[in-house]
Amino acid sequence: MNDMTALEMQDLLIDGRRVAPLTGRYFATVNPATEQVIAQVAEAGVEDIDAAVRSARKAFEGEWGHMKASDRGRLLLKLADLIGRNEDELVMLESLDSGKPVSAIRRQDLPAVIDTLIYYAGMADKINGQVIPARTDALTYTVREPLGVVGAIIPWNFPLMIGMWKMAPALACGCSVVLKPAEITPLSALRIGELALEAGFPAGALNVVPGFGKVAGQALVDHRDVDKVTFTGSPVVGRQILQSAAGNLKRVTLELGGKSANIIFPDADIDAAVKAAGSGIFFNTGQVCSAGSRILAHADIYDEVVERLAARAKSMRLGDPLEASTSMGPLVSEVQMNRVLNYIDVGRNEGASVVAGGARATETGYYVQPTVFVGVEHEMRVSQEEIFGPVATVIKFIDDEDALRIANGTVYSLAAGVWSADINRVHRFARQLKAGTVWINTYGPTDIRLPWGGARDSGFGREHGDMAIENFTEPKVVWINTGR
Ligand code: NAD
Ligand code: MG
């Protein structure tokens, strides 16, 4: 698959084979940096999803479901190894399909994918039950059993990484997976599916079914034989999934967006804070669920923060994602670009002012200039709604109470950052901020060992760590009457 001709037609991956879709339809996936079509991808319909789910069920009840836990771990390690060996190809695929700079994928996404696999490989044979001595007339214990067939629905902002956050723990637990990648970025997931077969995963343990959300995604969520849906994406679709999952009472984990506050106090290391605030909103062209899209600056340092942040925005190197020196790529699609440009208009109309960027950056490719809004009021749409693009809103606050009120004043609760040297203040904020993760004197790092997720419109449930094992297993009680 190293040359473009091999990319041209991409079939579904069901039951251990690449198969043409029963719909007979293919859709184009585009390189957002060039607007060129890079491949025609099979479009899964309801019947294709059904075939994938049946294959996953067969695997779960067959070879895959009976495999020794340590052997599942070995397969995950083998896949990690194969991903490492195919790094160049995967980096290229991910970049072409999503517009992410290769430098970022190599530095961040790929190592995170491999780390995730190694972490859950080690966990596969450590999923223990408990002996709970409830009675003196019985031996009572629990075992943790895999849930069964998992539907994983992922977005386009980190296709490889978010895909692996779901696949690796599900497979470690012994579940089988039907993965529905985002229609805008289906290519890397299909390649991971192939590598999993090469690693030795039995047919059906991992099926990859590209297609559209309203058809393929919806069919997966509606399917009566799917036991669990794990979803990352928008709150609108999250709500829809929750309703559809009620059909057979599927378990659901939802990781939806955010409008995270990054709060800077005058006693902070302003240099470090502004640097991190810049990458907090501009990394991955702002298409990050935990992006620090609201930068809260204390009145005493507001002007300084604005000036330095605007300078950082202007110094970003937009360009060809395949160039190692590019620090910011395009938005992932034309739709997303227009959405972001529309929000920039909304901000201007609401009375906020642009001090950096504010427009499309190129004629070809979906590039938007890194943009900084000032004079932003807490109630404006641009400081309440998730833009999912390189648009920072800088909001002034006067004291701790004000900062906390603004920071907690959206419908989201995913992440927050605080920059201060005052130990009492940072502990107080860590306690009072409504967020799944609070970063103190840093912004943005994640680690597979730490629980990840949010509350309210950011969704519910936690991924990562041993929490993910609970997502894909269920305890069973065994009660053996021993008599007194
Ligand atoms: P989306 O929620 O529409 O899509 C995410 C995934 O869900 C895709 O794979 C899509 O095919 C699938 N999907 C869509 N409708 C579905 C349905 N009815 N049933 C089942 N699956 C369905 O997100 P989007 O349209 O790609 O982006 C829109 C906005 O979502 C973004 O602008 C951003 O605000 C937010 N978003 C958040 C994250 C995140 O990491 N939390 C990621 C991507 C997008
Ligand atoms: Mg694409």
DSSP H helical ranges for 223-315? 235-245, 270-282, 302-315
Ligand 1: which of 237, 252, 285 to mutate, judged by most atoms within 8 Å of the beta carbon?
237
Region 233-252 average pLDDT: 96
CATH of 9-256+458-477, picked from 3.30.930.10, 3.40.50.300, 3.40.605.10, 3.30.9.80, is 3.40.605.10
Active site residues: 255, 289
Cα 340 to averaged position of ligand 2 atoms, centre (Å)? 18
Could you tell me the CA-to-CA distances from 12 to 82, 141, 148, 174 in Å, in that order? 21, 42, 21, 22
pLDDT tens-digit map of 83-106: 999 999 999 999 999 999 999 999
Instruction: Please say if the pLDDT value at position 4 is more than 90.
Output: no
Region 452-468 average pLDDT: 97
What pLDDT band is residue 7 in, cutting at 50, 70 and 90?
Answer: confident
The ligand minimizing its distance to the Cα of 93 is: 2
pLDDT of residue 463: 97
pLDDT of residue 177: 99
The secondary structure of 92-108, three-state, reads HHHHHHHCCCHHHHHHH
**Angstrom distance (rounded) from CA 323 to CA 95:** 11
Mode of pairing for the β-strands spanning 176-180 and 251-255 = unpaired
Q: Encode 28-62: b = buried (16+ Cβ within 10 Å), e = exposed.
A: ebbbbbbeeebbbbbbbbbebbbbbbbbbbbbbee
For residue 233 and ligand 1, the question of a CB distance below 6 A is answered with yes
pLDDT tens-digit map of 34-54: 999 999 999 999 999 999 999
Cα 365 to averaged position of ligand 2 atoms, centre (Å)? 12
pLDDT tens-digit map of 372-423: 999 999 999 999 999 999 999 999 999 999 999 999 999 999 999 999 999 9
Instruction: Please say if the pLDDT value at position 2 is more than 90.
Output: no
Ligand 1: which of 229, 234, 287 to mutate, judged by most atoms within 8 Å of the beta carbon?
234
Could you tell me the CA-to-CA distances from 72 to 103, 137, 226 in Å, in that order? 32, 37, 21
CA 212 to ligand 1: nearest atom: 11
Cα 465 to averaged position of ligand 2 atoms, centre (Å)? 30
For residue 387 and ligand 1, the question of a CB distance below 6 A is answered with no
Cα 479 to averaged position of ligand 2 atoms, centre (Å)? 53
Tokens found for residue 33: 């940096």
pLDDT of residue 5: 53
Q: Are 474 and 462 in contact (CB under 8 A)?
A: no
Instruction: Please say if the pLDDT value at position 8 is more than 80.
Output: yes
pLDDT of residue 342: 98
Cα 401 to averaged position of ligand 1 atoms, centre (Å)? 34
Any idea where the domains of the chain sit in the sequence?
Answer: 9-256+458-477, 261-440
pLDDT of residue 437: 98
Tokens found for residue 335: 């739709």
Find tokens 């031996």 and name the residue: 139
The ligand minimizing its distance to the Cα of 44 is: 1
For residue 472 and ligand 1, the question of a CB distance below 6 A is answered with no
Mode of pairing for the β-strands spanning 353-356 and 371-374 = antiparallel
pLDDT of residue 242: 97
The secondary structure of 345-395, three-state, reads HHHHHHCCEEEECCCECCCCCCCECCEEEECCCCCCHHHHCCCCCCEEEEE
What pLDDT band is residue 255 in, cutting at 50, 70 and 90?
Answer: very high
Any idea of the CA torsion for 319, 322, 324, 329, to the nearest 10 degrees?
40
- Closest protein CA for atom 19 of ligand 1: 218
- Closest protein CA for atom 32 of ligand 1: 388
For residue 180 and ligand 1, the question of a CB distance below 6 A is answered with yes
Q: Which fold has domain 261-440?
A: Aldehyde Dehydrogenase; Chain A, domain 2 (3.40.309)
Tokens found for residue 48: 């294709």
pLDDT of residue 207: 99
pLDDT tens-digit map of 194-232: 999 999 999 999 999 999 999 999 999 999 999 999 999
CA 257 to ligand 1: nearest atom: 41
- Closest protein CA for atom 16 of ligand 1: 213
Cα 35 to averaged position of ligand 2 atoms, centre (Å)? 9
| Positive or negative torsion for Cα 13, 17, 18, 20 | negative
Instruction: Please say if the pLDDT value at position 166 is more than 70.
Output: yes
- Closest protein CA for atom 27 of ligand 1: 234
Find tokens 């771990």 and name the residue: 73
List residues bridging with 149 in a β-sheet. 176
For residue 157 and ligand 1, the question of a CB distance below 6 A is answered with yes
Region 365-371 average pLDDT: 98
Region 164-172 average pLDDT: 98
CA 256 to ligand 1: nearest atom: 41
- Closest protein CA for atom 12 of ligand 1: 213
Whole-angstrom Cα Rg for the chain: 23
Tell me the pLDDT of the chain averaged across its residues.
97
Which of 289, 298, 245 lies closest to 388, judged by CA? 289
Instruction: Please say if the pLDDT value at position 1 is more than 50.
Output: no
Which of 436, 434, 357 lies closest to 389, judged by CA? 357
Cα 351 to averaged position of ligand 2 atoms, centre (Å)? 35
Instruction: Please say if the pLDDT value at position 428 is more than 70.
Output: yes
**Phi and psi for 155 in degrees, rounded to 5?**
-90, -175
